[in-house]
Structure 1
């Protein structure tokens, strides 16, 4: 009888601990890192704005207005121009609207030693892979910004 009481008390304590900690599957999911969103907030928000509408703090200082990223699919017949967005961010696709390339070439930045040293600690890691993965995450986030 005593062992049943002790076991019940122990189980009750564990349940109270998890309930008090707010441990649920939903809470665990909210702790995931959204790399694309983080990249956008660090690199794009200043010109393209929080919602991607082209109304960021620096947008008025640019030679040409920042692109409204929410309309990319709409302007492309309802299809998100994935490769063009990726290549624009990477720097392999020149945009006439950017003229002398006001938009930074993030592929070049990601391959620089500053990013390499901060995130990658092994000498033989391919920097291009690192750059592509960050740009891919950012491109996917911009896809999620598309107007419905």
Structure 2
């Protein structure tokens, strides 16, 4: 495990989601790998890790933005498309929240989502190993 592994697993540990019950099916879990952040650099580093270290293909990655009323949705979607290299055809519907305090200053919040149980379990195991090293 090197520095990029440690950084990206920590990003997932702190900014990501865990397996959770799927509301649609009884006793079924959702094992999506997700990270949400406003900082495009954090998102780019995490995507680099997914692509280069874990072999995730671009086609499997979905993005979802949260923006505020008054923000330019088209401009923000273009921004995240360019920064991430993910085409807008792979964006889930953008969520528009009530007006925030920083209209025009924020680039929105970006959620990276990959539905892949095998990837989730692999990352969970890597994180378990990292946590073991840290807690010695």
TM-score, normalised on structure 1? 0.26
TM-score, normalised on structure 2? 0.27
Q: Which has the higher contact order (CA 8 A, sep 6+)?
A: 2
Identify, as 1 or 2, the structure richer in strand: 2
Identify, as 1 or 2, the structure richer in helix: 1
